[in-house]
Amino acid sequence: MAQTTSDPPWLSLPAEISASLRPVVHDMVEAIIEGIPRDVPVYAMPMEGRFGQGVRQGVTVALNRFLDLPGTRLPALSDDGKWVYESLGRGEVRSGRSLESLLAAYRYGARVTFRAISRLVDVSQMPPDVLLALGESIFAYIDEISAASAQGYAQEQSERAGEQLRLRSELLEMILRGDSSDGGVARLAASVGWTLPEVVVVALVPSPHVDGLRAALGPDGLVAERGTDVVVVFPFVNRAPRHRDLERALRGRRAIVGPARPWQQASESLHLATAADAHGLGPSPDDPHRDTVPVWVDEHLAELVVRAEPLATADLARTRLAPLDDLRPAVRERLTETLFAWLRHQGQRAPIAEELFVHQQTVGYRVAQLKDLFGDVLDDPQARFELELVLRAGHR
């Protein structure tokens, strides 16, 4: 009878093959178990204990199931058999081995099985199509076993990765709580392979900018979701190289990085990052690079201080910037920009001109205008301090 494309290849095999092999299944199991350590060096260990039991069970189930197939449309694996090979795949992950070693062992078992069939069954008397079906059957059967183990391997990896992520998130939360009384942080850090540093920074990354963040940070970064944001705890013992590493990982994202703290005070770093985000620290909203460059809070502490009391700062701004009130908007913008640079550079024309992209003579002309407007106020250290405060707070 012609075989349809949906029929398994073992449908064409005569049942006599199974009858010839069943009496020697035990010998075939022993031959396969004896040869696997030679053919697959990673298994060069005594076939004892749970490992040996697992291998013996897998080989025995595989051979007995294969002998059930000739002349039938049965699936390659029963539900119990599939569970056995998924479990073997999971075991490879737990043992730290690659899946390829297990698949190589399956291929070795297929060769032993084919040689046994050739020795016990007169294959020379088989029609060519039956002989072809025999080879196809063994290959198809091994493919099904391999696929089941691959599925188990992948599931175990996925579950372990998920558990690792959960434990790393739990570690981050413990660090932010400053939970150090009973050594739980150190134990959990060791269990996930994270070296507990003396100093960390905490970064806040809004959700639209978190894709690929874990990969960019690498194993050093602890990452956890908090509402619509993601929080990162990053080691910061060696500040210069760590600053470069984190800057590189966060580039292209909107991120606020809190100041460095001992890990027991990591919550302070998060608090300052959250405050800086709430007060809009960093580039202005119309800056095209606003969402691509991380903001380091310790470079903006003065702005954070003055923005913490916006009403008081606004009152101070109205008082200190009053001499500019009658100017046209464009002139006022130029002069406040120059005043801010003049205050920060302590009146040095060269750096002011470089920052503003103007000639030093232009700086001199603008400063003269400012002195005419403000008078003796610019000679008062307290007034200069207050002017710089309100300008840093964004008032113009």
3-class DSSP state of 139: helix
In a domain, 374, yes or no: yes
Residues whose CB falls within 8 Å of the CB of residue 244, separated by 6 or more in sequence, listed in order: none
Distance of alpha carbon 313 from alpha carbon 318, whole angstroms: 9
Same domain, 345 and 264: no
In a domain, 106, yes or no: yes
In a domain, 189, yes or no: no
Same domain, 32 and 51: yes
Q: What is the pLDDT of residue 48?
A: 67
Query: What is the 8-class DSSP label of residue 254?
Result: -
Q: What is the pLDDT of residue 1?
A: 46
Q: What is the CATH number of the domain that holds 249?
A: 3.30.70
Q: Which of 305, 332, 364 is the last residue of a domain?
A: 305
Q: 175 and 222 in contact (C-beta within 8 Å)?
A: yes
Q: Which of 144, 160, 176 is the last residue of a domain?
A: 160
In a domain, 359, yes or no: yes
Same domain, 155 and 267: no
Structural domains of the chain, count? 3
Q: What is the CATH number of the domain that holds 68?
A: 1.10.490
Same domain, 319 and 295: no
Same domain, 294 and 315: no
Q: Which of 140, 276, 130 is nearest to 202 (CA)?
A: 276
Same domain, 236 and 374: no
The runs of H, that is alpha helices, within the chain are: 16-21, 25-39, 49-68, 79-94, 99-120, 128-176, 184-191, 213-217, 239-250, 266-278, 301-307, 310-320, 329-344, 349-356, 360-374, 381-392
Range of the domain at 385: 309-392
Residues whose CB falls within 8 Å of the CB of residue 342, separated by 6 or more in sequence, listed in order: 352, 363, 367, 370
pTM of the model: 0.56
Q: Which of 254, 285, 305 is the last residue of a domain?
A: 305
Query: What is the 8-class DSSP label of residue 202?
Result: E
Which parts of the chain sit beneath pLDDT 70? 1-5, 46-48, 122-124, 180-181, 208-209, 282-291
| Count of CB atoms situated within 10 Å of the CB of 173 | 14
Q: What is the pLDDT of residue 194?
A: 92
In a domain, 166, yes or no: no
Same domain, 297 and 215: yes
In a domain, 169, yes or no: no
In a domain, 191, yes or no: no
Same domain, 258 and 316: no
In a domain, 3, yes or no: no
Q: What's the pLDDT tens digit per position in 155-209?
A: 988 888 888 888 999 999 999 988 766 788 999 999 889 999 999 999 998 876 6
Same domain, 82 and 215: no
Same domain, 245 and 138: no
Same domain, 115 and 61: yes
Same domain, 33 and 148: yes
Distance of alpha carbon 341 from alpha carbon 32, whole angstroms: 81
3-class DSSP state of 167: helix
